[in-house]
Amino acid sequence: MKFSLRQIEYFVATAESGSIVQASRQIPISQPAISAAIAHLENVFGVSLFIRHHAQGLSLTPEGRMVLQEARTLLLHAQELGGSLNGMLGRVQGEVAVGCMTTLFPLLAPDLIQSFSATHPDARLRVIAGHHEELTEKLRDGEVSVMIGYNMPMPQAISFQPLSALPPYVFTSVDHPLATTGRVRLEDLVDEPFLLLDLPFSRDYFLQLFSSAGIAPRIAGHYPSMDVIRSLAARGVGFGLGNARPRNQNALDGKPLAYLGLEDECAPLVYGLFTVTGQRLPLRVSAFLEMCIGNLSNRNLPGTI
């Protein structure tokens, strides 16, 4: 073979970071070593893998994108080979890349990272936050081995393992007229300004709750961040809807929130684990899935009430 796995690893790190400088910090290795590896691969393959932008990093050529896909597969197979050998000795080691929905990320990621490293000290969990569509793409492209998200439409080639149901709830400022009622109906909020979480699928889910009740919300703003909506609601700008109820009932700026249950018969979101159907998973990924099922199935989401 005219190239090494190490050279392939340097190429993938550079392609994913878009910079030799960033790749050298990530691996870590010297920048000249990475540059030499890329130059060697370009000479072996007879094509340019990157377009060099002065002072602005690198971008992949069309040929480079094709090589990147195969390079990731090659590295994955190499890791699986090592994992298989380690599995014979009952060891779990290596990195597990997991994608997690942004609304679940701050609650789940710390718990998962701590629990996995405590159970498997030779393994490392890398959790990436994102919305449904981008994480689905990363799962299909092999950038993550597992996706944690809600039971939303997915391609047939992806399997879903449910963990727990999260019913919707309302949050307002503590001095809102409805704050002390404990429970409300959506029709009680029809004239109130609604702060909509404007993320793919999440947006449709929350709007469908109103549609099912036969009413239309008075949308006061579209926001891509639940933290921003919580802060605005705590200031009395409007009310928000969510599914994960953080135990900390304060917004990021410290202002308190009131949580209200919904009396309407609303379909909960079920969160769980997505994997590519039929894929033979390495031991480290199987160990992560088993941990999630054992720790999270039919239980409160970590850090919630």
Per-residue pLDDT reduced to its tens digit, 228-258 = 999 999 999 999 999 999 999 999 999 999 9
Alpha-carbon span 270 to 284, nearest angstrom: 25
CB atoms within 10 A of CB 77: 12
Amino acid (1-letter code) at residue 37: A
Alpha-carbon span 206 to 291, nearest angstrom: 30
Predicted model pTM: 0.70
Q: Nearest 10 degrees: CA dihedral of 294, 299, 303, 305?
A: -170
Average pLDDT rounded to a whole number, residues 9-21? 92
Q: For residue range 25-49, list pLDDT tens digits in order.
A: 888 899 999 999 999 999 999 999 9
84 pLDDT above the threshold of 70: no
Give the CA distances from residue 30 to residues 2, 11, 33, 60, in Å, rounded to whole numbers and listed in that order: 22, 13, 5, 21
Check residue 90 and give its pLDDT. 62
Is cis: bond before 256, omega within 30 of 0? no
- By three-state DSSP, how is residue 17 classified? helix
Q: Which of 136, 168, 169 is nearest to 152 (CA)?
A: 136
Alpha-carbon span 138 to 146, nearest angstrom: 9
List 193's β-bridge partners, or say none.
Answer: 218
78 pLDDT above the threshold of 90: no
Q: For residue range 223-233, list pLDDT tens digits in order.
A: 999 999 999 99
Q: For residue range 116-148, list pLDDT tens digits in order.
A: 999 999 899 999 999 998 999 999 888 899 999
Q: For residue range 208-219, list pLDDT tens digits in order.
A: 999 999 999 999
Check residue 81 and give its pLDDT. 77
DSSP 139-178: HHHTS-SEEEEES----TTEEEEEEEEE--EEEEETTSTT
